[in-house]
Structure 1
């Protein structure tokens, strides 16, 4: 049972300096070599830059900071970190429950393809946010200072094309959008590379699941929502993977769970519990639970932890935005296959 670690970064600075400081933190970490192995040597930098300029231009400054701190060219840094034109990912799980009071989810994948970074960042020219890094610049999931919370859920590679990864899309929306409706508008415009669900909620009580493919985006809204790894819209169902039994099973469990009217803490504890039907240990096949993340709209509380950790991160995010850092620098968990 190897130990598993996630570093906690807290940075308040310009976007360029956030890139510099993030680069310094990851400079000698295995994630750099991992990304070098799985990304393309170079991408169409001009097209990537054009897309970023349209949706979140400040992130180009963060990329420049990463490039400088890691002694990379702008094109190489973009290939490694931008989330544009990324090779296919063949498997990934994630389960989310959305209510008017809170959002909670698990992220399931492999520790060998995991950044191992939880960032709280406050740029000078965009919204502050907190979430788990993916490909350094992107986010698996997270929340911003206005109470918009989001997560990604892999569906398939049907129609895969050159475009923006879902983790880059989440970072763009968290940095630039205040409400679910604003995030939906952005997700309808972003050129998506593959088929993903996005689970979204905000402090105004809005909830939605965005089913996004390279050629069509559909929005689902109803009561307390659940989100897993298959499309439910009739138009998009043909894009699902051949086998979605596990996703259907988790979705049924989530629907039963939401009928219990659990508190945020009760739901969070259910998601992170190793004995839960939502917790998985098939890490060798890219389906093991790596972290649990939750946010309460009522008190701005983030609850998060990593696989089988005895420690939770609890953050009053409103207080953090107002300048109060948390005193946790690292989480230790266990990967048990």
Structure 2
């Protein structure tokens, strides 16, 4: 058993200064070494800037801030944090359940390749949001001040190419989109690097799974209930699934049979329960649950926790956007 900690950052101001503050907070950690082991030494910086300028130009300012905060060059920061032209990573698992009232999700992977950061950010040039960092700039999942929630789900590397990582795509969605329709439109435009599902819900009770590959993007909408796991379900996209998707199919069957009348809090506790069919402990093989994230649209309530933790972070996002910081600095859990 080993301790497992996630830091909580609360950052407001210009995107540049949010980057500086993040870099300074993380400077004493091993994240540069970790990200350096899975990213390229250099990327095509003009190409990346051209694409990001089209979708979320403020993130370029945050990248400059990260470079300043870590005391590294802009070129190095772009390769480490931008999420552009990232080499293939091992498969990760994720399960999400969406209703008209709430969104609940588990993220499954290895603690060795995990930022260990949950950020609440309020940039001057974008919507405020809260979510778990990936490559610092990106997000595994999160929600913004307009009540738009999003998460990523790995499917396959079929057709893999140079492009925008799904975690940076999530950040772009949270920062710039105010509704499900806007998020779907953006995800149809982004040049995706691999095959991923994106689970999306908004405060109007709308929900969708965007099935995105480098060549094609399709959308599967839900009416009152939607599950999202690690395989494509659209007939046009199924050929891009991995050869073995038995685990993903089993999780989907469980989610589809889930009691539809449970509350946000009840569903959240089911997902975070170590005995749950959607909670996994195979950390050595890159398939252990690291965090549970959820959001209730009606009361702007985030409930989230990490593996093995007795703490539940309970945040009213609208209160935070209005200037009320939370007193919690980190979440403490453990990995078996």
1:90–1:157 Cα contact (<8 Å) kept: no
- Aligned counterpart, 1:90: 90
Q: Which runs of 4+ in 1 moved over 4 A?
A: none
Contact 1:169 1:187 in 2 (8 A): yes
Is the counterpart of residue 145 in structure 1 residue 145 in structure 2?
yes
Matching residue of 1:68: 68
Q: Is the 8 A contact 2:38 2:89 kept in 1?
A: no
Superposition deviation, residue 148 in structure 1: 0.3
1:226-267 deviations in whole A, cap 9, x for unaligned? 00000001111010001000000000000111x341100000
Question: Matches of residues 1-337 of structure 1 in structure 2 within 5 Å?
Answer: 1-223=1-223, 224-257=225-258, 259-336=259-336
1:37 Cα shift?
1.1
Are the equivalent residues in 2 in contact too, given 1:104–1:294 (CA < 8 A)? yes
Deviation at 1:222, TM superposition (A): 2.3
CA distance in 2, matches of 1:38, 1:95: 24
Q: Secondary structure at the match of 2:309?
A: coil
Distance in 2, matches of 1:28 and 1:197, equals 34
Which whole-Å deviations, capped at 9, do the CAs of 1:211-235 have from their partners, x for residues lacking one?
Answer: 0000000000122100000000111
Report deviation, 1:32: 1.4
**SS in structure 2 at match of 1:250:** helix
Q: CA deviation at 1:44?
A: 0.5
Separation in structure 1 between the aligned mates of residue 175 and residue 222 of structure 2, nearest angstrom: 26
Distance (Å, rounded) in 1 between the aligned partners of 2:125 and 2:163:
25
- Distance, in Å, in 1 between the alignment partners of 2:104 and 2:220 is 18
Instruction: Tell me the secondary structure at the aligned position of residue 37 of structure 2.
Output: helix
Q: Deviations over 1:179-214 (max 9, x none)?
A: 011000000000000000000000011100000000
* 27-36 or 16-25, which deviates more: 27-36
CA distance in 1, matches of 2:261, 2:25: 40
Normalising by structure 1, we get a TM-score of: 0.99
SS in 2 for 1:112: helix
Q: Structure 2 CA distance, aligned partners of 1:39 and 1:175?
A: 24
Structure 2 residue ranges without an equivalent (≥5): none
Q: Structure 1 CA distance, aligned partners of 2:194 and 2:295?
A: 27
**CA distance, structure 2, for counterparts of residue 35 and residue 307 of structure 1:** 22
Shift of residue 72 of structure 1?
A: 1.4
Q: Distance in 2 between matches of 1:135 and 1:34?
A: 10
Q: Which runs of 5+ in 1 are unaligned?
A: none
Contact 1:129 1:144 survives alignment (8 Å) = yes
Mapped partners of 1:119, 1:70: distance in 2: 18
Deviation at 1:301, TM superposition (A): 0.1
> Structure 1 residue 10: deviation in Å?
0.2
Q: Distance in 1 between matches of 2:287 and 2:51?
A: 31
State the alpha-carbon separation in 1 of the partners of residues 173 and 40 from structure 2. 25
Tell me how far 1:28 sits from its aligned partner.
1.2
Distance in 2 (CA, whole Å) between partners of 1:89 and 1:196 is 13
RMSD of aligned Cα (Å): 0.6
